[in-house]
Amino acid sequence: MNALASHQAVVSAHGLRKVYKNKVALDNTQFEIGAGKIIGLIGPNGAGKTTALKAVLGLIPFEGELKVLGRDPRTQRDDLMNDVCFIADVAVLPRWIRVREAIEFVAGVHPRFDRAKCERFLANTQLKPNMRVREMSKGMIVQLHLALVMAIDAKLLVLDEPTLGLDIMYRKEFYQRLLEDYFDDQKTIIITTHQVEEIEHILTDVMFIRDGRIVLDATMESLSERYVEVLLGADRIDEARAMKPIDERSLPFGKTVMMFDGVPLNRLAALGETRIPGLADLFVATMKGTYA
């Protein structure tokens, strides 16, 4: 990477290492994230996703080199948090809190919170200042949380499983609002989630993490050039296997789907119907053996 590019990196990690008791959570992990990206950090449970986020947010000690917006989260955390916003699970606001109290709280803790912007956002909802969280539907809670986040002018937004426990309508609305009302090319968003299919369409880049190491780090665009799935009849299976698929799964009616990495499309099209794999299928193929 040239000097200019690394100077612009929002997050730059080299040789990160974190061990809990006797489990290695980050194992010489390295990655760089540029401005104006929406990154999906995706991995099985225990792969190191949350540990990586905690390191970025300065919440845990670790070994190795890490710069976030040009600062070291271990020694410059207070300064860094002026430019960073972090949200775990959207549905965890305390049940007794009123809308206006939630606004007061965020205004008190985050220097870049814009109250007028928050109130404009809430004006388009059914939420009223005196309403308590326990009186709200799940959808209203999401709207309140979104209003609080959207009003923070952070350069880096970190979302750790943000839509856990919400039904699909609200999850979709959450990501749509994020794209339309919040994101611009000066901001960077890192999202971890198990619901890969839902964020696939908003991501610019993806990182798969396994056993504390980044095993795939790519733009969404490059994935569609690299990976291809082919739907095969029984008569072409041996021929296809000779081309070394990275994954294979059986479908009803004697059909098989194989996934290839870097094999020219015209060679694969001769075998059967081709398509670009979804992120979830790609994830499963990359993680095979992890769950054994």
Q: For 117-130, write each residue's pLDDT tens digit.
A: 999 889 888 899 99
Q: What are phi and psi of 43, to 5 degrees?
A: -170, 165
The CATH class of 35-59+78-211 is alpha beta
- How is the beta sheet containing 156-160 ordered, strand by strand? 84-88, 156-160, 188-192, 38-42, 205-210, 213-219
Q: Are 187 and 221 in contact (CB under 8 A)?
A: no
pLDDT score for 2: 39
Locate tokens 């694969």: which residue?
268
Q: Dmax over Cα atoms in the chain, in whole Å?
A: 68
The percentage of the chain sitting over the pLDDT mark of 90, rounded to a whole number, equals 58
Between 48-52, 145-149, 271-275, the lowest mean confidence (pLDDT) is in 145-149
Residues of the chain with CATH 3.30.70: 223-287
Between 7-16, 71-80, 137-146, the lowest mean confidence (pLDDT) is in 137-146
- The crossing angle, in degrees rounded to 10, of helices 138-150 and 99-109 is 30
Distance CA 288, CA 194 (A): 16
pLDDT score for 91: 57
Q: Are 40 and 3 in contact (CB under 8 A)?
A: no
- 51-68 mean pLDDT: 95
pLDDT score for 3: 41
pLDDT confidence band for 54 (50 / 70 / 90): very high
- Name the token pair of 124: 């388009």
Q: Which fold has domain 223-287?
A: Alpha-Beta Plaits (3.30.70)
Residues of the chain with CATH 3.40.50.300: 35-59+78-211
Which CA distances in Å does 288 have to 207, 220, 255? 16, 21, 21
